[in-house]
Amino acid sequence: MRSSWGKLAAAVAIVCVIQPAHAASLPDSFQEKSWDRLSDRQLSDWGRKALAVDATRWRHGETTHFILHYLSDGELIAHRSESFYAEIREFFGNRQDLLAGQKSQVFAFTEPKDWQAFMRGTGVLYAIGITRGNEFFYLATGEDGRFDFKGKVQAHEMTHLVFNRFFVGQLPLWLNEGIAEYFGQRKTATLAEFRRQMRGSPRYTLDRLFAVKSYPTNPLDVQSFYAESAILVDFLTMTDQRRVLLPRFVDAMIRLNNVNNAVTIYGYRNLADFEYAYRFYRAGF
Ligand SMILES: [Zn+2]
């Protein structure tokens, strides 16, 4: 999904599969609060627009890292948010949270009609989740109207939101979306499911992927752009040894955006070497 500071636009939909809830304990830190008692009531124009939709029904709460606005399922949303935070922080090597002390704002809509009313007010054509700055807006229910336990959209967007707490600077589009889509698709599925889902997408050549400066608009291109980006991040993280290299790779790409140089972190001599190895890996999909 499109995300990040100031980049606003349409996003693609992810079809969510509803799965039974995991019997997980609820976060100790979750507290439902009235609006007046929230520790931070500074919202962007989008935040204010969100709460203006069905204004009397919003409920609010806080966890250690999030201020949550929701219409139902507050504790489930709180739990998933903090679980993601912990997972993403660990994935990126437990680096320092640059926004420590500042909570991210999450707006969880329940009704598709409310979500659509909010979307109309933002000018975004279509999305089911969008991250903007330190705020994340999404439709928390699946196609059957119930809480979406699989949460692929939340996983994707929450990755953008939490990632922005640990890294400063602009990532190339493919890597920014690849990391988010990796969490949205790969980490919410088994490897076999992930491969099955990705297999259906036409390939997006690496030359083209690395050169992308703006979001594709053709639906088939959108699908293959996200899929190829996620597969590439899976390739970069497929073993524990490779996974620990990802934060360094990300730092290098933020610094120089020179993929030919950054792949040497993984022991490849150059991009041609990297592409050769990727071709074999990709053939397994
Ligand atoms: Zn995204």
Kindly write down the DSSP assignment for every residue of 85-116, as one continuous string. Answer: HHHHHHHTTS---TTTT-PEEEEEE--HHHHH
Centre of ligand 1 to C-alpha 204, Å, is: 17
Domain count, the chain: 2
End position of a domain, from candidates 117, 144, 166: 166
Quick one: 191 and 146 in the same domain? no
Q: Where are the beta strands (DSSP E) in 21-142?
A: 31-33, 59-62, 66-70, 104-109, 129-132, 135-139
Ligand 1 centroid – CA 176 distance (Å): 7
- Does the pLDDT value for residue 7 go beyond 80? no
Question: Which among 145, 166, 187 is the end of a domain?
Answer: 166
Of 203, 161, 167, 204, which Cα lies nearest the Cα of 183?
Answer: 161
Residue 181 and residue 69 in one domain: no
Domain with 131 in it: 31-166
Is the pLDDT score of 20 beyond 60?
no
Domain end call among 144, 166, 188 = 166
CA of 26 to the centre of ligand 1 (A): 27
Which is more confidently placed, 285 or 34? 34
Q: How confident is the model at residue 196 (pLDDT cuts 50, 70, 90)?
A: confident
- HSE-CB for 157 with a 13 A CA cutoff: 32
